[in-house]
């Protein structure tokens, strides 16, 4: 098998995870939260798709939901029941997230075009990974952030933002958000509005 640049970093990858799963009234899919290692509120700056619309307060921390469908291949396999689909997607998402944690690199400016400042040592776990605000020159004008941004392995979702949601999800297919409703009666109007604003 061909070597990957991230291979040396992925040592001692047997990590015990604590997940909180909230069952929703049908037809909605369950929601998932990673309690340990904690999925921090600030990851959203550089992480694929935390669900800030599903933010909860738990044990004194604000934790976004995991967007297990839209941040992966996004497929609702009709041969599987929703719980199996959910657990399947959740397992893949969590494994990818552990790789993301171990492959993070510190960038000044938004990755991948920002300046690379630091890489992790093999197996190193970050204690403080809050993005920092850096003032350069005139502090009123130049604000740069340092981000720890990791590698998200495997295929990226075909549908991961309003434009691709609208392109790949039919109006009568299930919505990407896990509500169990059809796309047209859930996020489609909102995605259309967001796309219109961004143009």
Give the binding site for Zn ion (CB under 5 A).
175, 177, 179, 186-187
In this complex, which beta carbon is closest to Zn ion, that of residue 147 or of residue 183? 183
Cβ 67 to Zn ion shortest distance, Å: 11
Residue pair 66/51 in contact (Cβ under 8 Å)? The answer is yes
Cβ 51 to Zn ion shortest distance, Å: 11
Residue pair 186/149 in contact (Cβ under 8 Å)? The answer is no
CA atoms in the 13 A half-sphere facing the CB of 195: 14
In this complex, which beta carbon is closest to Zn ion, that of residue 47 or of residue 51? 51
Cβ 25 to Zn ion shortest distance, Å: 15
In this complex, which beta carbon is closest to Zn ion, that of residue 71 or of residue 186? 186
In this complex, which beta carbon is closest to Zn ion, that of residue 9 or of residue 186? 186
- Compute the distance between CA of residue 76 and CA of residue 188 in angstroms, rounded to an integer: 17
Residue pair 104/148 in contact (Cβ under 8 Å)? The answer is yes
CA atoms in the 13 A half-sphere facing the CB of 161: 7
Burial category of 140 from C-beta neighbours within 10 Å (exposed 0-12, middle 13-18, buried 19 and up)? exposed
Cβ 97 to Zn ion shortest distance, Å: 22
In this complex, which beta carbon is closest to Zn ion, that of residue 125 or of residue 185? 185
- Compute the distance between CA of residue 89 and CA of residue 69 in angstroms, rounded to an integer: 7
* Pairing mode of beta strands 50-58, 31-36: unpaired
Cβ 49 to Zn ion shortest distance, Å: 13
């Amino acid at each position: 098998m061909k070597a990957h640049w991230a291979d040396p970093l992925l040592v001692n990858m047997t990590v015990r995870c604590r997940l909180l799963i909230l069952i929703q009234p049908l037809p909605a899919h369950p929601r998932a939260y990673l309690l340990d290692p904690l999925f921090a509120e600030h990851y959203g700056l550089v992480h694929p798709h935390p669900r800030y619309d599903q933010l909860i307060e738990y044990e004194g921390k604000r934790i976004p939901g995991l967007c297990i469908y839209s941040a992966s291949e996004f497929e609702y396999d009709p041969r599987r029941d929703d719980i199996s689909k959910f657990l399947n997607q959740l397992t893949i998402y969590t494994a990818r997230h552990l790789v993301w944690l171990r492959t993070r690199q510190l960038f000044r400016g938004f990755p991948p075009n920002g300046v690379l400042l630091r890489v992790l040592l093999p197996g190193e776990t970050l204690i403080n990974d809050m993005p920092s605000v850096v003032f350069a020159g005139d502090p009123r004008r130049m604000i740069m952030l340092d981000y720890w941004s990791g590698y998200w392995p495997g295929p990226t979702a075909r549908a991961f933002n309003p434009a691709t949601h609208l392109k790949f999800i039919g109006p009568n297919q299930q919505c990407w958000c896990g509500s169990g409703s059809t796309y047209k009666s859930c996020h489609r109007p909102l995605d259309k509005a967001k796309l219109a604003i961004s143009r």
